[in-house]
Structure formats: structure tokens, C-alpha cells
Amino acid sequence: MRTIAISALLVLAAGAFSPALAQSPAPVAGTDYVEIPNGRPLDPAEGVIVVEEYFSYICPGCNAFEPLFAPWGARLPAGVKVVHVPASFRADFVQYARAYYAAQSLNVAEKAHADVYEAIHRTRTLPAEGVRPDEEKIAAFYAKYGVDAEQFLAAMRSFSVDLKVRRAADHMTRIRIPSTPSVVINGKYLVRGRTNADTLRIADYLIEKERTAAAASGG
């Protein structure tokens, strides 16, 4: 009875956050999400629930997910933070992973984020899946955000960016990210949505689960 009561409270709390969630059955561990043993975010933040999206700009699935994920992320409550983690487990993902971290180091990553998808998947002004990566073309693209193309290229090839790419790759291997896009809540739960909308429904539930746990512990 206690387990059922707690589950019901979580659903009610999550329903206040997401109306659609209140009308759906509570997500089930092992089916709708995977619990990550000793899980923690790549970069934990004290008192903050971290929502990590593992992505690649050339991934068609990530491109389809972005129009739903971006507005969803913008509506998250205080104390919940979205972090994009670029995947590099395929050779053709690596340049764009480097590009993301280079853009981040130059403070233009979020400003350019949606436009990179646009340039790859719609206008085709940046190399897409199956096309040979071109670092010079990528650097030239980011120049329109106020950074020098040569400076951006140097950042892409820098040791610090290489370290970030490797660190993210090691983290993804440790927590067994299966593909892109993938969403992980607070380093503890890997979401297994059947659709993009279902992924966000389950993510809503898990965020509320974490908020409830934090409130119960006085965090």
C-alpha cells in the first residue's frame, strides 16, 4: 500500500507539472526508463536536477526531436537545467561534437544550436550524414555569430575540446547510452520513450520523482 501511495503522489505531482502526464499511467522502471547504477550527471550541479540530452547534429532523429525538446526544456521549472552532450561514438559525429564544445568555449553554442540543425537538415549548407565532414566549412558557419573562423577552427582542434569530447564519450560508455537522441534525468534514469512525445512524458515524471525525493530529504 505504501508503494502504491507514493506512486500515486508522484503521478499527481507530475500531473501539476504536465497535464498530459496526469492522464497517463505512471512510467515503469525497466520498461519506460532504466535506472543507472551509481548514476550522476556528467557535470553535477548542487541543488539542481540535470536533464542531459545526448545528441548529434547530423542525427535525423535528433533533428526531429529538437523542435519538441527545445520548447519543453524552456518550460522546465526553476532548479532544473538542460545540458546538451554531443555524442562521438561514430566517426562522422566527432567533428560536430568538437564544434559544439568549441562553440561552448566561445559562448555561442546555445545561440547557434537550432541553426546548426537547420543548416544540416534543411538548407544543406553544412555537411550532413553520409557527407565527408569539413571543419573549415563548420568554422566559417560559426563566424556569423561573431567569432573569427580561424579562432573557431583552433578551438575545435584544441586540447581542451579534445578532452571534453573524450570525457563525454567515456561517460556515455559508462552509463550505456544506446543511441541518439537519448535523455538522462539527473544521471540516474535513462528514458526509454516509444515516441518523442512519450520520451518527454517520462522525463516529466522522472523530474518530479527527483523533485519529490529532494523535498523529502530537505534538499
What residue ranges do the domains of the chain occupy?
89-174
User: What integer is the mean pLDDT of 94-101?
Assistant: 97
The predicted-structure confidence for 145-180, as pLDDT tens digits, reads as follows: 999 999 999 999 999 999 999 999 999 999 999 999
What average pLDDT does the segment 175-195 reach? 97
9 band by pLDDT with thresholds 50, 70 and 90? very low
83 with 50: CB under 8 angstroms? yes
* Confidence band of 219 (pLDDT split at 50, 70, 90): low
Which CATH architecture does the domain made up of 89-174 adopt?
Answer: 3-Layer(aba) Sandwich (3.40)
How much is the pLDDT for 14? 41
Q: 18 pLDDT exceeds 70?
A: no
Write down the pLDDT at residue 106.
Answer: 98
pLDDT, residue 25, reads 85
Q: Is the pLDDT of residue 86 over 90?
A: yes
Residue 16: per-residue pLDDT: 42
Measuring CA to CA, which residue among 47, 208, 37, 103 is closest to residue 200? Answer: 208
Return d(Cα 111, Cα 163) in angstroms, integer.
23
Is the peptide bond prior to 181 cis by the omega test (within 30 degrees of 0)?
yes
Q: Provide the pLDDT for residue 23.
A: 62
Beta bridge partners of 52: 83, 184
pLDDT value of residue 200: 98
Task: Calculate ∠ Cα 170-112-52, nearest 5°.
Answer: 35
> At residue 130, does pLDDT exceed 80?
yes
